[in-house]
Structure 1
Amino acid sequence: MADKASRAENAASGRRTVRPPGEESRAVVIVGAGLAGSIAAYRLAQAGIESTVLERGQRWPITGSGDTFPRFPSCDKRLIWRDGTVGDGVLPRVPWLPDKAREALWPRSTGLLDIAWHGNLTTVCGAGVGGGTLVYGGMLPQPDAEQFGEVFPDVPYEEMREDYYPRARRRLRAQVFPDDVLKSRRYRSNRLWKTLLERSGMAPERVYSTFDFDVIRAELSGEAKPSATVGQYLFTGCNSGAKMSVDRTYLARAEATGKTSVRPLHNVTRIAHRSGRYRVTVERLDRNGTVAGVSTVVCDRLILAAGGVHTPRLLVTARDTGALPDLNEHVGAGWGTNGDQAPLIKTFTTPTGAPQGGPPAFLARSRGGSVMVSHGGYPLPFETGLMQCTGLGVPDGYGQWTYDAARERAVLDWPSQGDRSVRRKVASVMHEITDQFRHGAIVFDPFKRNPLVLHPLGGVAVGRATDSYGRLHGYRGLYCLDSALMPGSTAAVNPALTIAAMAERCLDHIIADFG
């Protein structure tokens, strides 16, 4: 179905366009309704430009009943994304297991977490309108200048510090963790973490995060369903609505203008360029993940914002199958883990509280800033003596997406020792911290042999696969604005703030392209 503008143009010129069934025309298409896709939709809408956002996941509206998201540990089908493709989900492909048996063991679902096994690491992404911000911890730390300059040598840090970081924090509705919440018994482990950091000589930094602490106060007083305050803030969403995911900030503002159309359960499987326009192949899914139909959207400008797994996968497939042959050799390269580490502290006798509230209250950086560590609440309702921590740094090695013609899909090749120095540095910092327990504690990494990557980044690195503002080399009207634009790292911090600030920076420069 052609849109009104196309029909008017054809009528004025005397042409009659006949489109195949299931094909429609749009001026601007955005693939992905996560952080970068929502920012792009908002900025375009501000400029009076219409866009269509295609999101493979479903909407997750916060309701008064407080049951939008599955609750850990009582998780259900809403938790895991499973679309039936080979290699998706938490089950690696077993050659002797028939596809029907796989389907029976793990049925299709349009759940929150897209977990993909890549042989020697596992990536975790958010699925749904809001993308990764539905399931992330909401932390918005800013990189140190020195670390940023090493990772982003062509992006002026002063520009980011003075304009784009503050702008992104403001529009994401960032708040700093407040004292009165910290005093609650639910945040015992956060207070303990602060004490340990101080004893070890590390300066605790208050965390800016995308949480509404008035809602958290309502949870603590019994006026809202306990969610973040009982550890239900990470992976499983936040049923109280305390977490301000981008579907409730940037994207809500974009939709309010009437210029943005969001289509959930629209899974983009292929992109191509033909006759000066982009062709986007879309599977329309039902809530169980079953394909209800396939259609094509033709557009003049295409913004990719599907994240650090799916954006490079789409582009590498398109380049190496001839659908976008002019993409350069940097597409697919420079993929990284952001140095993600997931150590656990187990105390010998010191209680850590139960359940432990989130989001994280304090982070700390190693001397020199090459590593950042933080602690977030553990959701189990009984005392465990456990403290869930994260560590981040700049990885040593980088992965490469390549197209496997035999399997007809793009695959990730990651060097098994790519995070070796980060792992060593994080372990050293964590041992310094655990040494401060007066009655003893140990630290261990349950994902040491097969890393769990919560922040997959890169594959379409800025300044290499694109120009300095996200325009893909080789094509006019094709953009990447998401985590794939990061060169495998965001300089030893959680990536959300830098992704948002970079998207804002890119859009300041490319918005004129859409006029």
Structure 2
Amino acid sequence: MSGVIKRRQFIRATLAATASIGVSKIASATYRGEECVEALVIGSGFGGAVAALRLGEAGIKTIVLERGRRWPITAAGNTFSTYQNPDGRSTWLSPTTVIFNQVPIDIYTGVLDVKVGDGIIAYRGAGVGGGSLVYNAVSYQPTKELFYQVFPRSIKYEELDKVYYPRVRSVLKPSPIPDDILKTDYYLASRILLEQAAKAGLKARKLDVAVDWDIVRQEIAGKKVPSAIAGQAYYGLNSGAKNSLDRNYLSRAEATKKVEIRPLHVVNTIEEYHAGRYRVTCNQIDERGVVLAKKSFICRYLFLAAGSIGTTELLLRAKHNGTLGRLNNQVGKLWGTNGDGISAIVTSNQTNATLGGPASVVIEDFDNPIAPLVIEQLPFPIVPQGVLAPLSLAIAKPEGYLTYNTSTQSANLFWPKDSANNQKITQANQYTYQRLNQANGTTFGAPLDFSATAHPLGGATMGAVCNTYGKVHGYSNLFVVDGSLIPGSTACTNPSLTIAALAERCMDRFLNKKLPESMEWE
């Protein structure tokens, strides 16, 4: 019944605002050779997947433009590249791999992309499912206290806690690692981190992970290709153990018969057309990156979900070219790394730290006297025996920014790695790791490394470029629903769950609010 109500409310509001043209004509006709659709979503990661499903459920004709290809899991277990034999499937249109041991590969539309900035390297996913193809599947909810160190009080944490976080979990189905799997040799590193935390008097626990643990059991039994147990998270899991977005949110969106996903469509420009409509142009490419066709779309409702780097770059280009001339000067600002940092801990014992993924356990040092942080055990394929390489997350201030480079027609990324707050995060990490080392007789194997992030956030943030429901200031029918909406941090957690929860909140607002004719939502 609620879906019917949402659909009726949406149609009433839309017809009132577009009486002169008619939504049905927009949905079915072409305009001067351009394809027209009610709603267009750019990107298929956590924000775009949520938007696509909720639009489809409401009966709204929607096209999703995704730059990457589809990655269906094959029965042979060879969908993705592996660390041992990397090829073009590993990396987005690059002659070399971009993480771990960098080796030559064929140029191909692979799953992992990198943005090299000044002071930071940012990793991001490419493909139907976005970052969910290459992330560690952690579904981690921040505490209320830490949430409000980042987000405005106008976002009710209780609403997220009772409605939107559970809604996302109901689709992704995350769960903690079962004890029988944790006890295997593959997850030795996770057990070691739990033991070391207990000796140091630090709180540690299992994480909720969007993984089908029965498939992991099949890997252990030799019935599925070793993927999760082999730590192959960052290029995709060939066993199909990861509950990536293409297998839940996006497949459900397509099942509504109202949503069409167009892979290998690289968006170039967005512009205000007229009467609150938008034109989007893109290149349709093949799997080698060769342009096959140039396409144009006209839509009434435009949802930007190309990720922190992608969405911000599109907005910066539109502002520079005057196609969205009312964008304010906050576009590109308030960017951050989520406080990502890597350490190396020498234990002098066997660790199996290259195995046992995705991430499964976390140390929560929220009482750290310098700054709160968490430490997660991740599988790293280049870590030798006797070493752990945990990932730490903290509250990075949104001190980074992106600017538009007219010569390359792309965004440049800047991060003040030596800022006072980043030095504070470094000191907080040193404090926690020293507690671990002193209690366990371990040592640092390498300096703390904050030179890269897998969690880029910001650039089109709430309160600056958008309101808290993602509506872009000064524009009707234009929304940001991805990590670019978030000011630099998700408060000591992996961002995916919070991005999706905020996107669910944005879509509820979009579908339930009876819109005035002006379509303004300030």
TM-score normalised by the chain length of structure 1: 0.89
Amino acid at match of 2:86: C
Matched, 1:36 2:10: no
Q: Distance in 1 between matches of 2:353 and 2:491?
A: 33
* Other-structure match for 2:510: 510
Tell me the equivalent position of 2:57: 46
Structure 1: any 5+ residue segments left out of the alignment?
Answer: 92-104
- Per the alignment, residue 82 of structure 1 pairs with 93
The answer to whether the 8 Å contact 1:343/1:388 transfers is yes
Calculate percent identity across the aligned residue pairs: 37
Counterpart position of 1:118: 117
In 2, Cα distance between the equivalents of 1:256 and 1:324? Answer: 34
Q: Distance in 2 between matches of 1:490 and 1:196?
A: 26
Distance (whole Å) between structure 2 residues aligned to residue 403 and residue 336 of structure 1: 17
Shift of the alpha carbon at 1:441? 3.1
User: Is the CA contact (8 Å cut-off) linking 1:108 and 1:290 kept in structure 2?
Assistant: no
The AA in structure 2 aligned to 1:252 is S
Show the counterpart of 2:212: 212
The equivalent of 1:101 in structure 2 is: none
* SS class of match (1:343): strand
Q: Give the C-alpha shift of residue 378 in structure 1.
A: 3.3
Which residue matches 2:428?
A: 425
Asked if residue 410 in structure 1 is aligned to residue 411 in structure 2, the reply is yes
Give the letter aligned to residue 113 of structure 1.
Answer: L
Equivalent position amino acid for 1:304 in 2: L
Partner of 1:97: none
Change (3 A) 1:143 1:285: same
Amino acid corresponding to residue 52 of structure 1 in structure 2 = I
Q: Quote how far apart the aligned CAs of 1:9 are.
A: 6.6
Structure 2 contact 334–459 (Cα < 8 Å) conserved? yes
- What pairs with 1:433-448 in structure 2 (closer than 5 Å)? 433-438=436-441, 440-445=442-447, 447-448=449-450
Aligned pairs for 1:29-178 within 5 A: 29-82=40-93, 108-153=107-152, 154-178=154-178
In the TM superposition, residue 107 of structure 1 has moved relative to its aligned partner by 5.7
CA-CA distance at 1:414 after TM superposition: 2.1
CA contact (8 A) 1:341 1:390 kept: yes
Name the structure 1 match of 2:378: 376
Q: CA deviation at 1:424?
A: 2.2
Shift of 1:217: 0.9
Which residue type is aligned with residue 396 of structure 2?
Answer: P
How far apart in 2 are the matches of 1:415 and 1:80? 27
Partner of 1:309: 309
- Aligned residues of 1:397 and 1:415 also touching (Cα < 8 A): no
Decide whether the 8 Å contact of 2:88 with 2:105 is kept in 1. Answer: no
SS in structure 2 at match of 1:52: strand
Q: Decide whether the 8 Å contact of 2:363 with 2:375 is kept in 1.
A: yes
| Corresponding letter in the other structure for 2:164 | Y
Q: Which amino acid aligns with 2:427?
A: R
Distance 2:113 2:459 in 1: 18
- Partners of 1:455 and 1:106 lie apart in 2 by 25
Confirm or deny: 8 A CA contact 1:66 1:239 kept in the other structure.
yes
Shift of 1:344: 2.0
Partner of 1:184: 184
Give the C-alpha shift of residue 446 in structure 1: 6.8
Instruction: Give distance in 1, aligned partners of 2:179 and 2:192.
Output: 14
**TM-score of the superposed pair, with normalisation by structure 2:** 0.87
The answer on 1:331 being equivalent to 2:331 is yes
Alignment deviations for residues 253-293 of structure 1 (CA, whole Å, 9 cap, x no partner): 11111111000000001111122321111100101111111
TM-fit CA distance, 1:55: 0.1
* Kept in 1: contact 2:116–2:413 (CA 8 A): no
Are the aligned partners of 1:83 and 1:290 in contact in 2 as well (CA < 8 Å)?
no
Distance 1:423 1:71, change over 3 A: same
Query: Contact conserved, 1:79 with 1:112, CA < 8 A, in 2?
Result: yes
Q: Distance in 1 between matches of 2:316 and 2:299?
A: 20
Q: Secondary structure at the match of 1:511?
A: helix
> In 2, distance between residues paired with 1:283 and 1:118?
25
Alpha-carbon distance, 1:514 to partner = 9.7
3-state secondary structure, aligned to 1:109: coil
| Residue matched to 1:251 | 250
Question: What secondary structure, in the 3-state scheme, does the structure 1 residue paired with 2:288 have?
Answer: coil
2:47 and 2:94 map into 1 onto residues whose CA distance is 23
**Tell me, what secondary structure is at the counterpart of 1:110?**
coil
Distance 1:360 1:106 in 2: 27
Query: Following TM superposition, by how much is the alpha carbon of 1:225 offset from its aligned partner in structure 2, in angstroms?
Result: 1.2
- Structure 2: state its 5+ residue gaps: 1-14, 516-522
Q: Distance in 1 between matches of 2:394 and 2:460?
A: 20
AA aligned opposite 1:467: N
Q: Distance in 1 between matches of 2:353 and 2:272?
A: 54
Contact 1:271 1:280 in 2 (8 A): yes
Q: Which residue of 1 aligns with 2:230?
A: 230
Please provide the CA RMSD for this pair: 2.7
C-alpha distance in 2 between matches for 1:106 and 1:474: 45
Identify if the C-alpha distance between structure 1 residues 433 and 354 changes in structure 2 by more than 3 Å, giving closer, same or farther: closer
2:11 matched to which residue of 1? none
Over residues 425-445 of structure 1, what are the superposed CA-to-partner deviations in whole Å (9 max), with x where a residue is unaligned? 12321222233334x432424
Q: Is the 8 A contact 1:431 1:443 kept in 2?
A: no
Decide whether the 8 Å contact of 1:190 with 1:377 is kept in 2.
no
The offset of 1:512, in angstroms, is: 3.9
In structure 2, do the counterparts of structure 1 residues 436 and 72 end up closer, same or farther at CA, with 3 Å as the change threshold? farther
Q: Distance in 1 between matches of 2:58 and 2:353?
A: 48
Letter in 2 for 1:26: V
